[in-house]
């Protein structure tokens, strides 16, 4: 997993007016927290932050935060955005231990072709688009693939069915549905006997 360095300034002024001034100057107010730290108010350059999380890991990127002489290994755990512009308004950086597990959200991507589902005029319905997993920061997968090739009409794929890499475990309930199937318009019109034939 890639690790990036991000510069931060400490001692930023507090309050809404001060935060608005920072944002106008292209700087994002943030806070660092975690075991043995803070909460420590900091500020980071908006462009540098975007570059830091533009890797394949996205917000799961491990970041070395260089805060004027102090260095923290962090992850961006909570991001507040402007309600209209969508720009980042505030970041919570959590200090993490690279050797201890963290809980993160990882995107789910469907692969394969559910041939039997298509032939029955049924449809594949992805219900879960990310999975909460627990692993060490260096083991966080960029994404997880869910193979739908073996799906049949009426079948489902649950969290417990998703193949996970070594060292990675699902935090979500294993019975939660990831992918379901339901009768398409043609199958509904044809009736249950034709649809199951």
Domains with residue ranges and CATH for the chain: 3-95 (2.40.240.10), 102-196 (2.170.120.20)
For the ranges 18-22, 88-92, 116-120, 185-189, the one whose mean pLDDT is highest: 116-120
pLDDT category of residue 195 using cuts at 50, 70 and 90: very low
Q: How far is CA 172 from the centre of its chain?
A: 14
The answer to whether residue 193 scores a pLDDT higher than 50 is no
Asked if 115 and 150 touch (Cβ cutoff 8 Å), the reply is no
Mean pLDDT taken over the chain: 85
Range 38-57 average pLDDT: 85
Asked if 3 and 64 touch (Cβ cutoff 8 Å), the reply is yes
The answer to whether residue 93 scores a pLDDT higher than 50 is yes
The answer to whether residue 176 scores a pLDDT higher than 90 is yes
From first CA to last CA, the distance across the chain in angstroms is 48
Q: Please give the angle made by the CA atoms of 138, 101 and 139, to the nearest 5 degrees.
A: 25
Q: Please give the angle made by the CA atoms of 4, 139 and 3, to the nearest 5 degrees.
A: 5
pLDDT category of residue 190 using cuts at 50, 70 and 90: low
């Amino acid at each position: 997993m890639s690790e990036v360095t991000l510069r931060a300034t400490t001692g930023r002024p507090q309050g809404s007016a001060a935060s608005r001034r920072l944002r106008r100057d292209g700087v994002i107010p943030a806070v660092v927290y975690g075991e043995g730290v803070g909460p420590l108010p900091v500020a980071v350059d908006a462009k540098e932050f975007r570059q830091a999380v533009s890797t394949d890991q996205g917000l799961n990127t491990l970041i070395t935060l260089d805060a004027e002489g102090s260095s923290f290994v962090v992850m961006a755990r909570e991001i507040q955005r402007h309600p209209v512009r969508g720009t980042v308004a505030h970041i919570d950086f959590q200090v993490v231990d690279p050797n201890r597990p963290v809980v993160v959200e990882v995107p789910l991507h469907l692969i394969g072709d559910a041939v039997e589902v298509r032939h029955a005029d049924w449809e594949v319905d992805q219900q879960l688009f990310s999975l909460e997993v627990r692993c060490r920061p260096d083991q966080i997968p960029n994404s997880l693939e869910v193979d739908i090739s073996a799906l049949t009409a009426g079948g489902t794929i649950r969290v417990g069915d998703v193949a996970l890499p070594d060292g990675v475990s699902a935090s979500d309930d294993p019975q939660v549905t990831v992918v379901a199937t339901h009768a398409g318009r043609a199958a509904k019109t044809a009736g249950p006997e034709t649809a199951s034939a």
